[in-house]
Amino acid sequence: MPNELAQILDTIRSGETMEHHETTRKNEHLHQRQPLKSIVNFRYHAAWTASGVLRPSSKFKTMFKLLNGDAAPEVELISVTGQPWKLSDRKGKMVVLHFTRGEFCPTPRGEIAYWDNFAHIFAGMNCEIVFLANGGREEYKKYAEFMRLRSPILIDEDGAIGEAYGVYGVNTPVNKNLKTYMAPSIYLIDADGQVACFWILSGPRGGPSPESILGILSYAKDNGWKY
């Protein structure tokens, strides 16, 4: 393993991609050994440049619509309380886009309430939390008013925003009067309006906690509000 790690560091310093390095190894008839990209598995195939920035490979592009460093698609919607909200107006600060499954389900109701408890702490870290739902404007309006939420809930009526961000199960029908995202997703957008990192789920649970995002913000604070 130390030899493998030394090879990884050499690859980073030289600016070669992992894929190029692995090809070189195969040409040297080393393919029977563990491939380099499986030794350092950052949950996807990636390549490191000399600057140390993680660059997803072309194969990863087929898995997700957006990648770290991509410009975040515009979000311009009306909150359930009637307030306009536009992502590009938030340049200079970081934003958590929390695509929630549906008010009808107790899991997202609890998650919204929990995340909203941290809204003032996020604000102190130059970050805003906003929730997006695929439908249920009236239901969410009642919920927001009852819970006195500080964070806005935006309704993505036709699912266009969810589609742009690759959220799982956009426009899933719950009944004839309600549609929803099948599972939640969370995107952290940096101060330049680019995707800092993201979590796309295929089930109702398993996303990052507010505390983990605050840890990322602690780093971003000293890096121009970028991660």
| Numbers of helices and strands, H then E, in the chain | 9, 11
The total number of residues shown for the chain amounts to 227
Residue 87 DSSP symbol: G
Enter the CATH code of domain 76-220: 3.40.30.10
Domain boundaries, the chain: 2-61, 76-220
Residue pair 37/21 in contact (Cβ under 8 Å)? The answer is no
pLDDT at 61: 58
* Per-residue pLDDT tens digits for 145-162: 999 999 999 999 999 999
Q: What pLDDT, on the 0 to 100 scale, is given for residue 59?
A: 56
Task: Give the torsion through C-alpha atoms of 40, 41, 45, 51, to 10 deg.
Answer: -50
Calculate what percentage of the chain has a pLDDT beyond 70.
73
* Strand ranges in the chain using DSSP code E only, listed in sequence order: 46-48, 54-56, 76-78, 84-86, 94-99, 127-133, 153-155, 172-175, 178-180, 185-189, 195-200
CA–CA separation, 133 vs 112, rounded Å? 11
* pTM for the structure as a whole: 0.75
Tell me which residues of the chain have a pLDDT lower than 70: 1-62
Q: Which amino acid is at 163?
A: E
